[in-house]
Structure 1
Amino acid sequence: MHSLIASPFLEQHILVRPGRRGGALLPEQHYEELRALDPREPSPDWLAEAVRGQWDDLDVTGRPAGDVLLVRQPSTWSYSKASWEVNLGCNYACKHCYLGLKVQSGMAFPDKRYCLELMAEAGVLWLQVTGGEPTIDKDFMKSWRHAYGLGMMLTLSTNGSLLWRQNLLDLFKECPPYRVTVSMYGATKASYDELTQREGAWDLFVQGMNAARSARLPLRVSVIVTEDNAYEEQAMVDLCTSWGVDHEVYTNITPTIYGGGEVLGAQSKEHLRMRRQFTGCNAGHTFFHMDPHGLVSICKIGRDDQISLPNEGIQGLARLGAIADRLMLRTGGCSGCQLSGACTVCRPLAKHYQEAKAPLASYCRHG
């Protein structure tokens, strides 16, 4: 397997290393030189120097380029990032989950493989693999390995409950993730099992985190604060610190992807925070989201007017930009609002809050 990836990225060309942070910009002439290089030829001196400057534990001097380097081809599409829900099924039943009903269904592996290949053709370099809980999917390992072989920098979003399994640890050693983001639902067994509504979930989380830390996986923890565990917020942060793991705290609960408000009861009122002003994003233009059935939307939130990637092929993505512009511009129940220029959520998310009949304070400055 390759140790380096040279790839177009937006309007530039970059050199990245799976499993590692950082990278290097490549002048266009260097990228074109790598594209034209016979895989049996030794790596150019300038490449060896650039690699040493970025990662001092990797030396490609004199090694055949094909042994260490995968060169991504240019794409006529503008996409560079994507997220993929492998499934909606999960081994937890978290009270706050934005996915709502957790149904274990999706595409057969040949369709998953085909969609991954279309993503690579569309220019996707950074791929977030999520769920549900992606590691319980029967095709997870095959899908991960295939995406890695296509030259994608992979991030796994997981509850960490299966990270202790040796087959997963072996997979991540062979095909290193760029990042493994683990959600944390409490600092004790009582709070963790209560929020996930699964007895023994805390034990699996600790076992998974210990194994992942021992394997030196590139971990980041998402500390989820809810009504059940709010009193443990600092304890969760302290535990991340003692583990030496990066973390980020999330306190605002959102409605389900179907606009359901049943999960909003998990919101800790003392931890409800007004978000920063929403100033726009490139959803649908430089990145997109794909659900378990290959239905592509502008993001995880704005799922209206989905495009079937297996049925329409890569040409279906041509409609995504117009869909994004329409969803971002719609006003719904907010027409005439004098504060619309300072909204703290995008229009697709505001629509979910409105459908869920959420209190204004949870998403609107009028609250």
Structure 2
Amino acid sequence: MYQQLADTVAARLPVPPWLVDAAGKAWAVDLANKRSDRAVIVRPATVLGYSRATWEINLGCNYNCEHCYLASRPFEGLSREEKFLMLAMLRDAGVLWLQITGGEPLIDPDFRAAYQHAYALGMMIEILTNGSRLHQHVDLLATMPPHKVTVSLYGATAESFDSLTRRRGSFKNTMHGLDAARAASVPFELTLIITKHNAHEREQMRTLAEQYAVPFKEFSNISPTYTGGPDPLATQAPEYLDKTAVFQGCPAGHTFFHVDPHGRATMCKIGRDNPIDLMAEGLDGLVRLPAIADAQMLRTGGCSGCKFSATCRVCRPLAKAYQAAKAPLNTYCQHGN
């Protein structure tokens, strides 16, 4: 069926009946009597099994949040042409779902061009943003809709919000972005970041999210930096730590991977050992990634032979970052209970 569709698109013939039927049933999309080359993107066949990727387009950020897991936020990375080349490699690796993050992705000078390029390559895109520049891009996002935009909410008032971001006016800017997205019908969700600065506003934050009538989730388990720096842990509100979630395994490095602003691929945002330079090695380098990921998931140090591994709350790379930060066991380990 893949080959039939590829031949149909190449010949600019109408969409095959089986796809017309499937698209109608699954998505209520009417492809009847439409030219296939105008309705379908046929990806090249690939031996790589990656369907998802996350990409830090740039680590630079216009906020200075205390809880940030990034050890530093330099404003640097690939050129626009190199970004396009990297996105083409993601396509050829099989990536259909792409999460664009940062830093703050919407302040990157190449964001619009990179987004348009990824969209044209047939990717479903999620944007992780603080929302402060969202109003500047709603025209693009309304014309080329993302899968969703996920906006972090740092409080329900300017006092708590600006305290956490350490940027005066950040609450006002983010609310402006959310209002603009709602007015333009851009699909977005909210992540409520719960810390010691805003825990007293938790119910107000929920109410604010409900007023926008969008899905939202809460995030309170603040982690160290991915290099093991302890500073973000000081922002935790201990009484709100989620101790119910159990780590169920992860396909990082096998079905998805992470790319940093310089085009270096790792298993995920946290497990950054032995990065693969896509710009130097190309897609061939990704063949090594599953083994690199498996090595990082091995329990070492104080986690070797742990009898509580079946109820562990975090993955091994994240536990390693907690250990490097000398975090209390109750923040990440069942022994803490």
Q: Is the structural similarity TM-score above 0.5?
A: yes
Q: Could you tell me how far 1:61 is from its partner in structure 2?
A: 2.0
Q: Report if the CA contact (8 A) 1:100-1:260 is conserved.
A: yes
Counterpart in the other structure of 1:161: 132
Conserved 8 A contact 1:289-1:298: yes
Query: Partner residue of 1:26?
Result: none
| Range 319-328 or range 109-118, more displaced | 109-118
Deviation for aligned residue 1:335: 2.4
SS of the aligned residue for 2:152 comes to strand
In the alignment, is residue 251 of structure 1 matched against residue 220 of structure 2?
A: yes
1: distance between equivalents of 2:31 and 2:242?
Answer: 48
- Say which of 177, 183, 189 aligns to 1:220: 189
1:107 shift after superposition:
1.1
Q: Deviations over 1:112-143 (max 9, x none)?
A: 11111111111111110000000100111111
Rate the CA distance shift 1:336–1:68 in 2: closer, same or farther, 3 A.
closer
1:275 CA displacement:
4.4
Of 12, 20, 26 in structure 2, the residue corresponding to residue 48 of structure 1 is: 20
Matched, 1:108 2:79: yes
Q: 1:361 aligns with which of 322, 330, 333?
A: 330
Q: Is the 8 A contact 1:87 1:292 kept in 2?
A: yes
What's the CA shift for 1:70?
A: 1.2
Task: Map Cα deviations across residues 161-204 of structure 1 (whole Å, 9 max, x no partner).
Answer: 11111xx2222133220111111100111111111111110111
Q: Which runs of 4+ in 1 moved over 4 A?
A: none
2:263 pairs with 1:294: yes
Q: Which sections of structure 2, spanning at least 5 residues, go unmatched? A: none
SS in 1 for 2:82: helix
CA deviations 1:44-71 (Å, max 9, x no partner) are 3333333333344x43321211122212
Name the stretch that deviates more: 263-272 or 336-345. 336-345
Paired amino acid for 1:293? H
Q: 2:245 aligns with which of 271, 276, 291?
A: 276
> Does the 8 A contact of 1:81 with 1:286 survive in 2?
yes
Output the amino acid matched with 1:92: Y
CA distance in 2, matches of 1:299, 1:266: 24
Where in structure 1 are there 5+ consecutive unaligned residues? Answer: 1-28
Q: Output aligned runs, 1:1-367, within 5 Å.
A: 29=1, 31-38=2-9, 40-56=12-28, 58-165=29-136, 168-367=137-336
- How many equivalent residue pairs? 335
CA distance in 2, matches of 1:275, 1:74: 41
Q: CA deviation at 1:100?
A: 2.5
Answer with 47-56 or 115-124: which moved more.
Answer: 47-56
Supply the distance in 2 between the matched residues of 1:142 and 1:107 (Cα, whole angstroms): 13
Code of the aligned partner of 2:175: V
Aligned-partner SS, 1:164: helix
Q: How far apart in 2 are the matches of 1:233 and 1:344? A: 23
Q: Which amino acid aligns with 2:16?
A: P
TM-score, normalised with respect to structure 2: 0.96
Residue 70 of structure 1 aligns to a residue whose secondary structure is coil
Aligned CA RMSD, in angstroms, stands at: 1.4
Q: Secondary structure at the match of 2:98?
A: strand
Q: Percent identity?
A: 49
Amino acid at match of 1:42: P
Name the structure where helix makes up a greater proportion of residues: 2
Q: Is the 8 A contact 2:142 2:185 kept in 1?
A: no
* Distance across 2 between alignment mates of 1:336 and 1:63: 59
Structure 2 distance, partners of 1:348, 1:43, is 46
Report how far residue 102 of structure 1 moved.
1.5
Q: Which amino acid aligns with 1:315?
A: D
Distance 1:331 1:258 in 2: 17
Structure 1 contact 275–345 (Cα < 8 Å) conserved: no
Question: What is the distance in 2 between the residues matched to 1:312 and 1:256?
Answer: 28
Task: Check conservation: 2:43, 2:92, Cα contact below 8 A.
Answer: no
Question: 1:15 maps to which residue?
Answer: none
Query: 101-110 vs 179-188, which deviates more?
Result: 101-110
